[in-house]
Amino acid sequence: MSKIKILPELLSNKIAAGEVVERPAAVVKELVENSLDAGSSRIVVDVAKGGRSLIRVSDNGTGMGHDDALLALERYATSKIFKDQDLFSINTLGFRGEALPSIAAVSRFNLTTRVASADSGTEIAVEGGKIVNVSEVGAPTGSMVTVRQLFFNTPARRKFLKTTGTEMGHIADMVARIALGHPTVQLRLTHNEKIVKNWSVASGLFDRVVDVLGKDLKNSLHAVEFQNNGISVSGWVSSPRVTRRTSRAIFIYVNGRFVRDRIVQHALFEGYSQRLVKGQFPVAVIFINLPFDAVDVNVHPTKNEVRFARQRDVHEAVRRAVAQTLYEVDLPQWRPSNYTTDRQAAASGGISEAASKEFGIRNAECGKEGLEFGNPHLEPRNAQLETRTPHPAPRNAQLAPRNAQLATRTSQPVPRTPQHAIWDKQGFSSMRVIGQFHNTYIVCESEGGLILIDQHAAHERVLYEQFSTRSTGAPKSAQRLLVPETVELGYREAGVLEKMIAELKDIGLDIEPFGGNTFVVKAVPVLLVGREIKPVLIEIVEKITEIGSAPGFAKALDQSRMVMACHGAIRANQALSGAQIKGLLGQLDGCRNPSHCPHGRPTWIHWDMRSLDKSFKRIV
Ligand SMILES: Nc1ncnc2c1ncn2[C@@H]1O[C@H](COP(=O)(O)OP(=O)(O)OP(=O)(O)O)[C@@H](O)[C@H]1O
Ligand SMILES: [Mg+2]
């Protein structure tokens, strides 16, 4: 007698539930995705006790007829794919045909649904996977799925549920993710009969983004947009000065599906190149759209991961989209705002009362009364960015009204402001230097306010960029040491350094092995003359060991440049002459990324007149 048996369907559904229904939030995800696939424009999610006792998702989508409703509960029953090829061009969120039977296998489940053309609806009750009742009922068009006592028949699973607060947190995050990806759908979430969130139909993607991520981010998010070779990238990324401690505020959508993707996340960080310090994460919402057959969504049972056919192209598109935007927005922005110029004009009597009313200016010095700051004086560039709506995720327009709606909302991208209009590369040296304080920071008067520059970070940036240019010259050129210096390293470190000798020579460090773990340094870049060389070498080796040899020499060399820039740069607590300061400002003007040191720390901070006046209560 054979020992191998085919499992009964009930049991195999329970096993599938183990993968698909990890926790209550997964049930919410599957049900809401079904509602979206059914073209709903309004979805309500009601939860009780963190999803333990109740999860109910109601929608106004197409609904199901009597026979389809029964079929939907069978394993591998789906209306979304029919043939082999369909699997390779999926344009719906669901396609596996296993969510409903899996959920029904581990709960007390009820489906009520009606199609618009039918007089009545169908209600099906299922207990632990067994259909216990089917009846005809009155119901609105659409579907309502009720899941009670999740995991009542799988005690081991139930035990792994966390507190109500934790489970509800996961549910709220899940709904927020879906809300971000579907701005034209109204979504409401309640917990224990109290409204947690009600996302009304947003007037555009950006409104939904601000709604989900918080209004305080409104002025710190910058639009990204890039298209190449059938891959389009759009969305928003935060200014490098607004960061988080985890990756939780990074939202990645591929053809409308929220995914976790290491490639895209890596590309995002590369796009921020040297603008974040270790441990900082940006806020980002990235929509990637590409032909359905260029991405495999059938990678994981929870459908949270994808595989790209052209992985490198996707990486490059995301990196470029982000880098391009940050290059533009992260340049020094201490140009006078309307506020500053109006303020100056008003103070010199050059602005009429009517005009000052119009601008909402109250001049504290003149004691004019009653005029408030009604106008938020947005930088023109910001105002422009806000109206820019990138293309939302276009999914198959015929499939669902929701998608058609999305398509009509796509606005034409507003052309970017050419970066030189913002930054004429005269920003730093055109400022009046007030002085240096604590021998660490340089204080300057900008046209629009006050700026502090971290002299070490700024000089580090300058040197790093000089080291990185191809041209041979100043700091990079090697100078022979009169007395070559010997340096002894540990066994492991010596091995690492040995492999880098040729590359380091290119950036001015001439090192030769001297037997065992000892090396002789014969020449150093001009920049490092007079500095202790051993700590530089040790740090270079440490950094290279840290990144491993995998990323290749380019990265290791880059790390070496950073170390040398850091060691060669002006220190904190170092007095500078006026001429040295001027020289530094001029060099900063020539930098590609003058706003951050190579480790990602900011090189300057700026207070505009408005915020200073506010702090001194000259204005409200
Ligand atoms: N809210 C709904 N409105 C209309 N039809 C629905 C709804 N929910 C499910 N269906 C129908 O039931 C079928 C089965 O749903 P189920 O979620 O089990 O599978 P799927 O969505 O096709 O694939 P997946 O398992 O990947 O989610 C769907 O293909 C769809 O036709
Ligand atoms: Mg589904």
For residue 386, pLDDT over 60 is answered with no
Atom number in ligand 1 closest to CA 30: 27
User: How high is the pLDDT of residue 616?
Assistant: 94
The ligand 1 atom at the shortest distance from the C-alpha of residue 34 is: 8
Give the pLDDT mean for 244-267. 95
Query: Which residue's alpha carbon is at the smallest distance from atom 6 of ligand 1?
Result: 34
Residue 353 has pLDDT above 80, yes or no: no
Q: Which mutation among 13, 20, 37 tests ligand 1's pocket best, with the greatest number of atoms within 8 A of CB?
A: 37
| 98 Cβ below 6 A of ligand 1 | yes
Helix/strand/coil for 522: strand
pLDDT tens sequence across 465-475: 988 876 555 55
pLDDT higher at 5 or 410: 5
Residues facing 47 on adjacent strands = 55, 191
To 5 degrees, how large is the angle CA 299–CA 302–CA 303? 50
pLDDT value of position 233 = 98
The alpha carbon of 72 and the centre of ligand 2 are apart by a number of angstroms equal to 9
SS3 label, residue 502: helix
Burial 357-377 (b: 16+ CB within 10 A, else e): eebebbbeeeeeeeeebeeeb
Q: Is the CB of 112 under 6 A from ligand 1?
A: no
Distance in angstroms (rounded) separating the CA atoms of residues 47 and 424 = 55
Q: Per-residue pLDDT for 127 more than 50?
A: yes
Query: For residue 452, which amino acid is it?
Result: L
Distance 76 CA to ligand 2 centre (A): 11
Number of the ligand 1 atom closest to the C-alpha atom of 61? 3
Percent of residues in the chain assigned helix, strand, coil, to nearest 5: 40, 20, 40
Other C-beta atoms lying within 10 Å of the C-beta of residue 542? 13
Q: What per-residue confidence (pLDDT) applies to 389?
A: 32
- Amino acid letter for position 358: E
390-430: pLDDT as tens digits? 333 333 333 333 333 333 333 333 333 333 333 444 588 88
* CA nearest to 461, candidates 591, 559, 314, 350: 591
C-alpha 26/C-alpha 48 separation (Å) is 15
> Would you say the CB of residue 40 lies under 6 angstroms from ligand 1?
no
pLDDT digits (tens, 9 = 90+) for 26-85: 999 999 999 999 999 999 999 999 999 999 999 999 999 999 999 999 887 888 888 888
Q: Which ligand is nearest to the CA of 100?
A: 1
Of 4-13, 123-132, 268-277, the one with minimum mean pLDDT is 4-13
pLDDT score recorded for residue 548: 66
Distance from the alpha carbon of residue 107 to the mean position of ligand 2, in angstroms: 17
Whole-Å CA distances, 237 to 108, 175, 221: 43, 21, 5
Reply yes or no on whether the pLDDT at 436 is more than 90: yes
Nearest ligand to the C-alpha atom of residue 36: 1
Element (H, E) at 72: helix 66-72
| Ligand 1 pocket member 77 (CB < 6 A) | yes
Mutate which of 13, 71, 100, 147 for ligand 1 pocket (most atoms within 8 A of beta carbon): 100
Q: What is the DSSP letter of 594?
A: T
State the DSSP string of 163-184: -HHHHHHHHHHHHHHHHHH-TT
Name the residue type at position 583.
G
Q: Is 102 in the pocket of ligand 1 (CB under 6 A)?
A: no
**pLDDT value at position 476?**
63
Entry pTM:
0.78
Lowest mean pLDDT among 77-81, 152-156, 192-196, 282-286: 77-81
**Which ligand 1 atom minimizes the distance to the CA of 96?**
26
pLDDT for 378 equals 26
Strand boundaries in 192-230, DSSP class E: 194-199, 221-228
Look at residue 385 in the predicted model and tell me its pLDDT.
27
Whether 99 is in the pocket of ligand 1, judged by its Cβ within 6 Å, is yes
d(CA 510, CA 496): 16
Which range, 375-379, 552-556, 601-605, has the best average confidence (pLDDT)?
601-605
Q: With residue 253 as reference, give the H or E element that holds it.
A: strand 250-254
Q: What is the mean pLDDT of residues 536-549?
A: 81
Q: pLDDT tens, 301-347?
A: 889 999 999 999 999 999 999 999 998 887 776 655 566 666 666 66
State which H helix or E strand residue 206 sits in: helix 205-213
What is the C-alpha separation between 244 and 361, in angstroms, rounded? 35
DSSP state of 407: H
pLDDT of 343 reads 65
- Report H helices in 240-279: 262-271
The answer, yes or no, to whether residue 182 has pLDDT greater than 90, is yes
Tokens of 504: 């380091």
Average pLDDT, integer, range 472-486:
77
How far is Cα 178 from Cα 228, in angstroms, rounded to an integer? 26
How many Å apart are CA 277 and CA 588, to the nearest integer? 20
Mean pLDDT for the stretch of residues 188-199: 96
Q: Is the pLDDT assigned to residue 369 strictly greater than 70?
A: no
> Among 86-90, 414-418, 560-564, 606-610, whose mean pLDDT is lowest?
414-418
97 lines ligand 1 (CB under 6 A): yes
Encoded tokens for 154: 């799988």
- Average pLDDT, rounded, for the chain: 83
Residue type, 7: L
- Residue 583 pLDDT exceeds 60: yes
Q: Is it the case that residue 260 has pLDDT exceeding 90?
A: yes
Question: pLDDT: is 491 or 194 the higher one?
Answer: 194
Evaluate if residue 362 carries a pLDDT over 50. no
> Residue of the nearest CA to atom 8 in ligand 1?
34
End-to-end CA distance of the chain: 88
Share of the chain above pLDDT 70, in %: 83
Quote the CA–CA distance of 119 and 109 in Å, as a whole number. 24
In this predicted structure, the answer to whether residue 370 has a pLDDT above a threshold of 90 is: no
Which atom of ligand 1 approaches the CA of 77 most closely? 14
Phi then psi dihedrals of residue 542, to 5 deg: -60, -45
Average pLDDT over residues 580-590: 92
Local confidence band at 503 (pLDDT 50, 70, 90 cut-offs): confident
